[in-house]
Structure 1
């Protein structure tokens, strides 16, 4: 006797069985068809391409969700603090001005990181033993590629301006007009979202340096955040803010990032046995 016969003689509920001895039963929902253009966009769109270019993908890499959650919390708290001080002291007239300021700061951080990255990685590779050195060099190819992809995407816009593409100087006939329209649409619809997504992912994943070793992103984040604090001091950031809040804004990010980075390094060492010395085979 089947188990369901012992429960009053009725079969178990099976939502994927269209008919049974007691009449029709619910059928599975129809599969939603996706058009060809949507499939191409999902496979080769700017966000899909950005995931492949800017997110770490090394097999066997440790991806601790607790660390990612802590980084998101720190980022949200930092943005809220900056927004509160900006509007409290009227440093920005509108939300758009604040967004532009944050975008400029993010791009500056990417530029500083693109210069800092080869220096820090070069020092680590130089300190490593020969077997580790070859492996670290091999793993550094994709992070270097993400830097080149982002800078190349950004460079297309000034190149289009300087070449006269955007102001129509190259559109002298029907063919050149069509080519100009296609290129401009491609830059606005594909390149611009790719660059915007790449800036966010480059800062979040520190140019996907976890592909080199899990300890490299927190080390680079430590160096980057103190470099950005020095840039803020030298450029007179947050002018108009009184002394204590200004000091808190300039030093808040370095201290919070330092705390999170040191906690991440300790978590990698205690929980997973991953250390900088281990990466260097020292």
Structure 2
């Protein structure tokens, strides 16, 4: 029985739902004024993306752990060997904020001070003009490198956040059913978050709540359909996945 299958219809349906969601979101923003300023909207979307990553990180840990605990010993070993993808996705995601922190601390001069550099070069070349010039040069190069790292790590982190959300932290590498089981958790958590945080646009309630409910309902329906298609067409079930 196939352990992992490539179903083009499932992939196309997922892509179509993503495109429709983006188109609907853009239409809503264009058609109605923002509730707050553009800066508040941008910050809100960044917070929402971070919240999505947090929810999926916790959900992926719980889901993968549940698979490991509920499966038979042989299946547990198989699942454990597939953890490299989710772990690598988490490590690459954490690397972005870590790089931003290092770059920011370097730009502020909190990691390395000019006096430390001068003392370092003085121990090599002796005190004088050469050690001073080398310390200044090192400061300039380090500042430029930190600035480049900061500018590169911002889009890197945003792209990795979106990738981790879209792939559910590569949970499909553990088992193909996991993304379908985790996606509803994400969208309904985001729905609750948006209810608590308030709407982004000043749209009529019937339009606003139709849009807000459209995402969770469509993702949940797509997940149910995907699980059913994997079971009927490919014989992939949760019971079979766990080895029972």
Report the TM range for the smaller structure's normalisation.
0.7 to 0.9
Aligned residue pair count: 220
1:175 and 2:138 equivalent?
yes
Instruction: Name which structure has the greater RCO, CA cutoff 8 Å, separation 6+.
Output: 2
Tell whether 2:162 aligns with 1:200.
yes
Checking the alignment, whether the CA contact within 8 Å between 2:82 and 2:174 is kept in structure 1 is yes
Distance between the aligned counterparts of 1:109 and 1:243, measured in 2?
24
Cα distance, 1:193–1:61 mapped onto 2, change above 3 Å: farther
TM-score (norm 1): 0.69
Select which of 32, 44, 47 maps to 1:89: 32
Find the counterpart in structure 2 of residue 33 from structure 1: none
1:166 maps onto 2:107 in alignment: yes
Indicate whether 1:184 and 2:147 are aligned: yes
CA distance in structure 2 between the partners assigned to 1:84 and 1:97 by the alignment:
19
Aligned ranges 1:1-282 → 2 under 5 Å: 61-91=4-34, 101-161=44-104, 163=105, 165-167=106-108, 170=112, 172=114, 173-189=136-152, 191-238=153-200, 240-282=202-244
Q: Secondary structure at the match of 2:107?
A: coil
Stretches of structure 2 lacking an aligned partner (at least 5 in a row): 115-135
Distance 1:110 1:93, change over 3 A: same
Q: Which has the larger radius of gyration?
A: 1
- Deviation (angstroms), 1:220: 1.0
Distance 1:277 1:261 in 2: 17
1:194/1:62 CA distance change after superposition, 3 Å: farther
- Whichever structure has more helix as a proportion of its residues is 2
Structure 1: tracts of 5 or more residues without a match: 1-59
Shift of 1:171: 6.4
Q: Secondary structure at the match of 1:248?
A: helix
